[in-house]
Chains A and B, each alone.
Chain A
Amino acid sequence: MRSLHTRRAPLPVSRRRFVQGLAGGALLIGAGRRASWGSGAREPSVLSGTDFHLTIDELPVNFTGADRIATVVNGQVPGPLLRIRQGDTVTIRVTNRLPARSSIHWHGLIVPADMDGVPGLSFPGIAPGETFTYRFKVNQSGTYWYHAHSRFQEQTGLYGPLVIDRPGGERHGFDREHVILLSDWTDQDPEHLFATLKRRSDSFNYGKRTLSDFLADVRRQGWEATAAERRMWGEMRMDPTDLADVSGAVYTYLMNGVTPTGNWTALFQRGERVRLRFINGSAMSIFDVRIPGLPLTVVAADGQDVEPVTVDEFRVGTAEVYDVIVQPHDDRAYTIFAQSMDRSGYARGTLAPRAGMEAEVPPLDPRPLLTLADMGHGTHGGGHAAGGQHAHSNEAQTDGAGQHVQAHSSSAARMEANGAIQHPATEYGPTVDMLVSQPSSRLDDPGVGLRNNGRRVLTYADLRTLGGPIDRRGAGREIELHLTGHMERFIWSFNGEKFSEAPPLRFTHGERLRIVLVNDSMMTHPIHLHGMWSEIESEDGAFQVRKHTITVRPAQRISYLVTADALGRWAYHCHLLYHMEAGMFREVIVSHDHGGNESHSGHGGHG
């Protein structure tokens, strides 16, 4: 069934250099500042200790054959790895040599609000020529990252890894480790790219369905079935190929700042346990990661240790982090393969016993299509079959299906029994193009393009954070937020309200609350709450996994608990950079006030 909906995404030869990049990889071409670390086996530079000085600057780079200007930290893309010890108080001076205001946010670190690095909420930002001193005590361990929170500087290179070592050693033993930071580089000016999306949001989609796909579908499944399926999408005015707003058409995917051709290489010795710290530091890309020939034992998610679970592949949403341990027993090279979710390109590196080796690079998987099931239509079959996971009784009742409705049939949707959902009034406007009336949780669904692919794929249902939740209290109240947008107009929001239109969400200091996210759009959104952990609940309401970024699939409902123990003003947003800029952002205020707005579900934005 699934294969009927897949197609190859061919890579035209003329574009190969662009997509796969130059062999030189992240060659920084600044006169006299040429950095040689781009080629092959070199690790990103490491800064460790308690005192750091980072300088944000612009440097010429050349990833694709075209000279461009990148935003760099200490002359590098990605920035240097910051290695910190848990328990230390660190001082990080950040000097801005850009002509524009800049900032650095420590993604996933629990720090005071004024150290969080979000201009306009935490601090005024770092003005050109100025130095800002971040100082905070580090009370956690694991793999994290840092990035700009100013306009599109993250897209142009301002990001880097950050690892906090646990005193007394790690929970999960290993002999060697490598940080693997995935990102997306574009030769286009991100301002132009964003404007292009606002003008015509499908500009970068070169995987649409064509007349020949239609004819092939007619041959395979008959005229009626094909016409009915096309009619359904046509009536919704939705495109099942809409998997990524920005694709390999303008992105070159990087692994530690190295193009696929540059082949970033990590070394191992046979039999060693190698810890790979995967960070998705991209602006707009979701990656499916695997190392053909090696099982991946996932030991941490978003910096938090989890019960080890072994898989063949995992999907890492933008800003998410997974630590895996592999143990290669053969004296051979292995390809680290991270294909973008829309199969328009990949980041690639090599795990090898010696530098200069390489293994076969697998072809891109067939480009998947969103199905009616992904949109909450019809019987959902995919998720349950994959990975041999358990079934969920609440899904059995609703047949795992949500009903997707248009606004004009909303009254029917509201009256739907059996787990039907109410949408806030603000969603019934011209800026929201889709509502889902019966979303399902489906934590065990690997997601579009990964179901039944013959590999064991990680899902949130597999992740169990060790040590339990940070707070055993149940939720005192619930805030339901719907992830909304308009594909055609490229407007993104929570509850149909853009950042500029919505009052801040207010949490009372010390409270434990539940956030329920319902994805009313057909895109996958990685949602990041600053300052506080997001503790995902299983479908039985038990503690599942602690994360800083939660990737929510189309028509999915995800609930998590948050302890509002972090006073101050915080950012809460979709981590797809252009979605955030388009309005998918909220301010969260944690204060001692007991004003208690949004004390009931469904109207998170309105106090």
Chain B
Amino acid sequence: MKRIRSRAALVASAMVLGVTAHAQHSTEHEHSHHDRAQHATEPVPLHHDHSQPGHTESHAVHGPNAAATTQSEREHVPPDPPTHELGDMSYEDMARMMSMDDTEPVASVVIDQLDWRGVGGANAFAWDAYAWYGTDYHKLWLKAEGERAGGVTRQARNELLWDRIFSRWWSVQAGARLDLASGPTRTWAAVGVQGLAPYFFDIEATAYIGDGGRTAARFAAKYDLLLAQRLVLQPELELNVYGKSDPANAIGSGFSSAELGLRLRYEIRREIAPYLGVLWSRRFGETADLARSTGEDASEVEWIAGLRLRW
């Protein structure tokens, strides 16, 4: 059916147009540029029935007509050589002149979580933000995560990292971490990987070596589940391990804490997205004991409301 229709269309088009392709051979431009040019003419087919296999043969350039010049060959005129040429210049100068530079750095600032954790309980406030600046290969990352409750900064992790992509989906990050909670300040050297795991999980895995032989590891994973184009449910998991106890900062050695968050955000714009959520956090082992000794629960569930902002 389609074939018939297509055939009919072609016939119709030829009738409508009334093309006389052969008439075009009256244009007899000769161009000295083409010393290979001959003086025979190649008939210009009016049209083909495209539904027939093998129709291209009649167009074959290397066929029996190979010795003849084509009409296009006779009509085409190569351009004159340039009379002005630019001198040699560096990539930087060229990029400036072109106003095009694929090595240009880009910056980004994201306040990923600005949680109010006061729904039905203590008035707590938490943040998780990052910023980066750099090129496709190298970036400088700044990460800040923390929580403040009852006028006390319970934790505040700040990291300054150099980021280098090393595979399709992963980059290596190395730098320094500074914990500025209400307890004693701790500094760490940090090294880790960050990237996109199969099935679009955002992953961060970092190991730390701190002053006084302290060690730590942190793992975080996030996933965006689209309920609608602007309505996104984001589960998030964070795990912390410490090699040495730090009672002054309410940290015990071993697997210390896990946090599972579920945030439902609405992207008014990509840049502004308020959300509601629930956060389950659990402290383990010695860390749990330390919490209980100060009258806190080892496990808590909090309702949260917040805002995600991006620039």
Contact = CB atoms under 8 A, between A and B. Distances in A.
B100 interface: yes
Interface string B102-139: 11001110000000000000000000000000001100
A488 B86 contact: no
B108 A199 contact: yes
B27 interface: yes
Interface stretch (A42-50, A122-130, A335-343, A414-422): A122-130
B276 to A, nearest CB: 17
Interface stretch (B52-60, B213-221, B239-247): B52-60
Interface string A360-400: 00000000000000000000000000011111000000000
Contact of A172 (B9, B19, B108): B19
A199 B106 contact: yes
B46 A200 contact: no
Interface stretch (B63-71, B173-181, B251-259, B287-295): B63-71
Given A199-B106, A542-B61, A581-B100, A325 B86 contact: no
Secondary structure dominating the interface of A: loop
Nearest to B23: A171
Nearest to A584: B102
A468 B73 CA distance: 8
B48 A464 contact: yes
Given A210-B227, A498-B102, A110 B77 contact: yes
Q: How large is the interface on B (under 10, 10 to 19, 20 to 34, 35 or more residues)?
A: 35 or more
B169 A488 contact: yes
Interface centre among B56, B57, B62 (most CB of A within 10 A): B56
A553 interface: no
A592 to B, nearest CB: 10
Interface string B71-91: 111011111111111100101
B17 A173 contact: yes
Nearest to B44: A466
A471 B73 contact: yes
A150 B100 CA distance: 7
A388 B70 contact: no
Interface stretch (A111-119, A157-165, A276-284): A111-119
Given A121-B98, A295-B13, A461-B50, 9 more contacts: A100-B99, A231-B199, A295-B12, A307-B48, A388-B3, A464-B59, A538-B56, A542-B57, A583-B102
Interface stretch (A19-27, A54-62, A261-269, A430-438): A430-438
A188 B77 CA distance: 42
B78 A566 contact: yes
Interface string B30-63: 0001001000001011111011111111011110
A491 B136 contact: yes
Contact of A542 (B59, B81, B94): B59
A567 B81 contact: yes
A118 B165 contact: no
A472 B70 contact: yes
A310 interface: yes
B169 A310 contact: no
Contacts of A389: 50-51
Nearest to A568: B82
B84 A208 contact: no
A209 B226 contact: yes
A311 B12 CA distance: 11
Given A542-B56, A583-B102, A297 B13 contact: yes
Nearest to B51: A388
Interface string A299-322: 100000001111100000000000
A119 B97 contact: yes
Given A151-B100, A210-B226, A470-B70, A237 B198 contact: yes
B229 A210 contact: yes
A237 B97 contact: no
- The 10 A-B residue pairs whose C-beta atoms are closest, nearest first, are A468-B70, A467-B71, A565-B78, A388-B2, A583-B102, A120-B98, A234-B199, A139-B77, A114-B82, A151-B99
Given A235-B198, A566-B78, A325 B50 contact: no
28 contacts: A112-B83, A119-B97, A120-B98, A120-B100, A273-B16, A307-B45, A307-B46, A307-B48, A309-B47, A310-B10, A311-B9, A389-B50, A390-B50, A390-B51, A430-B165, A432-B168, A466-B24, A468-B72, A468-B73, A471-B73, A471-B76, A472-B73, A489-B165, A499-B100, A542-B57, A544-B56, A569-B85, A585-B102
Nearest to A585: B100
Contacts of A195: 106-107
A110 B79 contact: yes
Interface string A449-490: 000000010000110111111111110000000000010110
B200 A237 contact: yes
A500 B137 CA distance: 13
Contacts of B108: 199
Contact of B2 (A212, A387, A433, A569): A387
Interface centre among A168, A273, A471, A566 (most CB of B within 10 A): A471
Nearest to A474: B62
Nearest to B19: A172
Contacts of A52: none
A203 interface: yes
B19 A200 contact: no
Contacts of B185: none
Interface in A561-607: 563, 565-569, 580-583, 585
Nearest to A587: B94
A207 interface: yes
B169 A469 contact: no
A500 B103 contact: yes
Nearest to B230: A206
A518 B136 CA distance: 23
B86 A531 contact: no
A539 B14 CA distance: 26
B225 interface: yes
